[in-house]
Structure 1
Amino acid sequence: MSYETVIQTAQNDTSLTLNHTCVRVKDPKVSVEFYTEKLGMKLLKRKDFPEMKFSLYFLAYPRDDLPIDPNGEVMPFGVPGILELTHNWGTENDSNFKVSNGNEEPHRGFGHICITTKDINAMCEKLESKNVNFKKRLVDGRQKDIAFILDPDNYWIELCAYNPSESGKNVNDYRLNHTMIRIKDPAKTLPFYENVLGMKVIEKSVHENGKFTLYFLGYGLQEGESKRSTQGMLEITHNWGTETDSEFQYHNGNEKPQGYGHICIASDDPEKMCKEIEEKYGDKITWSPKYNHGKMKNLAFIKDPDNYSIEIIPRGIVL
C-alpha cells in the first residue's frame, strides 16, 4: 500500500494539531486523582454518555491559551497536550477487569505517554515522596536521563527533561510531550502519517545496539521549543525485522483486551480534510466510521497501516 503525494488539505491546513491521546481506565476516580494529585494535571471537562454507558475525562497541564466557549467552558479540542481517559461504566466494580497496557506479550503495541520537565531529578524526587510506582528509576539501566512510572492501570509514563530556556507558550513546568506506539514497517507507516495526515518527521533516532529506530512526528515546533519541550507529538518505534515477518502484527488497543484507544487530530475543517482523503485514496483508507456517519457526529476515525485508530475532529467542537 502506498500513500503518494501529500493531501493538500493536510499540507496547507495550519490548524492541524495532535490534540489528545485516549486510554481506557478501570476506575476514573482513582485515575483522575493520580493524574491531578500526583502528576499535576487539571481536569478540564467530564462528559457522560448515558445511552452508551461511558464517560470521558479530559486532562491537561495548566496553560494560558485554552480556548473558551460562549458559556465560559473550556474547549479541550483546540490545543495539543490533552489526555482523554475513557471509562466504560461498571469496570470499576469488576474485580477481574484490567486494561491492556500495550507492553505485555502477546498484546504489545501502544508503548507510553511521555511527560517532560525542566528538572527531571526534582520531578522524580517529588513522585517518590508521593509513593508513585516506578518501572524504571533514573539510576536503572543504561539511559540515566529518563525514568518510567506506572499509572493505576499500569500504563507506562516516560519522564525526561527539556532545556529550561525552552519555554514556548506553555507557562507550566510539565508538558505532555508525546505518545509512543510500535509499528511494523516504517516504509508504510511514515508515508501514511506524512502524506495522509500531513505530519512531519521532527527527528529520527537510530539505535544499532538495541536494533530499533525511533521517529518523532508532529505538526512543527513553535519558536523557542524543541522536541522535548513541545506538546502533542507522536513517537513511532520500529523494532528491526518486523517488516519482513508476514505473520507479525501489533495489538492496536481496541481489540480485546482493550486499553489504548487512539490519538486525535483536530482541524478547522475536518469535513473537507476527510473528503479529500477519501477522494485521493479511496479504498486504501479504512474508516470506522467516516466523518459524521457514526452515533457521535462531527468526527471520523481513520486506521493507520498497523490498524491503530486516529480520530479527526473540529478544533472548535463543544461537548
Structure 2
Amino acid sequence: MSEAEAKSAAPSAEILEWPKKDNRRLLHAVYRVGDLDRTIKFYTEALGMKLLRKRDIPEEKYSNAFLGFGPEESHFVVELTYNYGVSSYDIGTGFGHFAIATPDVKKLVEEVRAKGGNVTREPGPVKGGNSIIAFVKDPDGYTFEIIQRPSTPEPLCQVMLRVGDLERSIKFYEKALGLKLLRTIERPEYKYNIAILGYAEEDQTTILELTYNYGVTEYTKGNAYAQIAIGTDDVYKSAEVVNLVTQELGGKITRQPGPIPGLNTKITSFLDPDGWKTVLVDNEDFLKELQ
C-alpha cells in the first residue's frame, strides 16, 4: 500500500468505528394502510397495542398514527400511513412479517379471531423446536407472528425481511448500522436460512430477522411497507459510514443528512443492497418531536 493509500484508509477505518460507539435503537417501522381508523381499531382491540399519537396533514393529503406497547421514547412502534383516497396496497413478496411476544399465544390468537382477523397458522410448536408460535393477518394483509414468551420489555419484537444474499446482508447491517449478529438458523430441509440481528439480546429488544430462501436472489417490494427508522446521535457521521459501506456492498443513500423542512428533525435515508429502506433519525431531535 502506498503512503497516499494508507492515509486515505486510516480515516475510513475510523469512520467505520462510529456505529459501534453510537447510541442506536430501532424506533419504528413505517407502512401504508387502506383505512387508518379500521387498522387502529384492530391493533388496539385485537393485538393489545395503544394509540400513542395521530396526526393529519391535509396539505400533503395523508394521515398517520403511531401505535405500540409502550411510549416511543423507549419502545419500538409502528407508524401507519393513510394516503387520501388509497384503499389498498401491494405488500409484495419481499416483506415477511412483524412479530409480537406474549405470555399466552392462544389467548391473543382468540382475540384476533374474535375481532375478525385472519389466523393463518394455529398456535403450536415451531417445526423442529419447542417455541409456541402462531401467524395472523391484519385487515390489510400484513402478517404478524405471535411468539410465546413468559415476559419481555419489548412485545413488538421483530421485523422480518427477505434478502437475496444473506452473508452480504449480514455484513451490510453490521457495518452500516452497527447491528450485532445474534444468531443464525439453517434449515436446509425447508430450503431457507435466517439471520437475527439486534442492538441487544433477542428477548430484550426488537430484532431484524433476515431470511434467505435458497435460490431466490430478488423479491418484489410492492408499495405497502416503507422503511425502518433507527435513532443515531449524529446523522452526518452515520451517513459517512453508510456511504462507505454502500460503495463496498451495494445500496445507496437516498437522502443526504440534514433537517426535514418545517420539522427540523435531522435525518438521512438509504437503501440496502436488496432495496430495503432505512431512515436514521437524530436522537435529540426525535425526543423534541415527541414533546
TM category, shorter: 0.7 to 0.9
In 2, the alpha carbon distance for the partners of 1:285 and 1:149 equals 32
8 Å CA contact 2:47, 2:111 repeated in 1: no
Equivalence for 1:88 = 83
Match of 1:48 in 2: 56
Q: 1:252–1:306: 8 Å Cα contact kept in structure 2?
A: no
Offset, 1:37: 1.4
Q: Shift of residue 87 of structure 1?
A: 1.1
| Candidates 7, 27, 32, aligned match of 2:16 | 7
Paired with 1:203 and 1:142, the residues of 2 have a C-alpha distance of: 18
1:54-203 equivalent positions in 2, closer than 5 A: 54-62=62-70, 66=71, 76=72, 78-92=73-87, 98-101=88-91, 107-138=92-123, 142=127, 145-162=132-149, 164=150, 166-168=151-153, 175-203=155-183
Identify the residue that residue 217 of structure 1 maps to in structure 2. Answer: 197
Q: What secondary structure is seen at the aligned counterpart in 1 of 2:257? A: coil
CA shift, 1:272, in A, is 2.6
The percentage of counterpart residues that share the same residue type is 29
SS in 1 for 2:242: helix
Match of 2:228 in 1: 263
Pick the aligned partner of 2:26 from 18, 22, 25.
18
Cα RMSD for the two superposed structures: 2.5
One-letter amino acid of the structure 2 residue matched with residue 156 of structure 1: T
**Normalized per residue, which structure has more helix?**
2
Uncovered stretches (5+) of structure 2, i.e. residues with no partner: 1-11
Q: For structure 1, list consecutive stretches of 5 or more residues without a partner in the other structure.
A: 67-75, 93-97, 102-106, 222-226, 243-247
Distance 1:194 1:217 in 2: 8
Residue 35 of structure 2 aligns with which residue?
27
Higher relative contact order (CA 8 A, sep 6+): 1
The letter of the residue matching 1:124 is V
Distance 1:179 1:23 in 2: 12
Q: Note closer, same or farther for the CA distance 1:250–1:167 as it changes in structure 2 (3 Å cut).
A: closer
Residues 141 and 274 (structure 1 numbering): CA distance in 2 closer, same or farther, change over 3 Å? closer
Which is further off, 118-127 or 131-140? 131-140
Give the residue type in structure 2 aligned to 1:11. K
1:237 aligns with 2:211: yes
How does the TM-score come out when normalised to structure 2? 0.84
Distance 1:151 1:281 in 2: 34
Secondary structure at the counterpart of residue 27 of structure 2:
strand
TM-superposition CA deviations, 1:43-99 (whole Å, max 9, x none): 11123333322222111103xxx3xxxxxxxxx3x334211111111224xxxxx21
Structure having the higher strand fraction is 2
Instruction: Report the equivalent of 1:250.
Output: 219
- The aligned length equals 270
CA distance in 1, matches of 2:86, 2:194: 34
CA contact (8 A) 1:17 1:80 kept: no
Report whether the alignment pairs 1:289 with 2:255.
Answer: yes
> Following TM superposition, by how much is the alpha carbon of 1:291 offset from its aligned partner in structure 2, in angstroms?
1.4
Q: Distance in 1 between matches of 2:267 and 2:240?
A: 12
Structure 2: distance between partners of 1:203 and 1:140 = 20
- CA–CA separation in structure 1 for the residues paired with 2:119 and 2:246: 44
> Contact conserved, 2:257 with 2:268, CA < 8 A, in 1?
yes
Alpha-carbon distance, 1:271 to partner: 2.8
TM-score, normalising length from structure 1? 0.77
What are the Cα deviations for residues 243-274 of structure 1, in whole angstroms up to 9, with x where unaligned? xxxxx421234xxxx11111111112223322
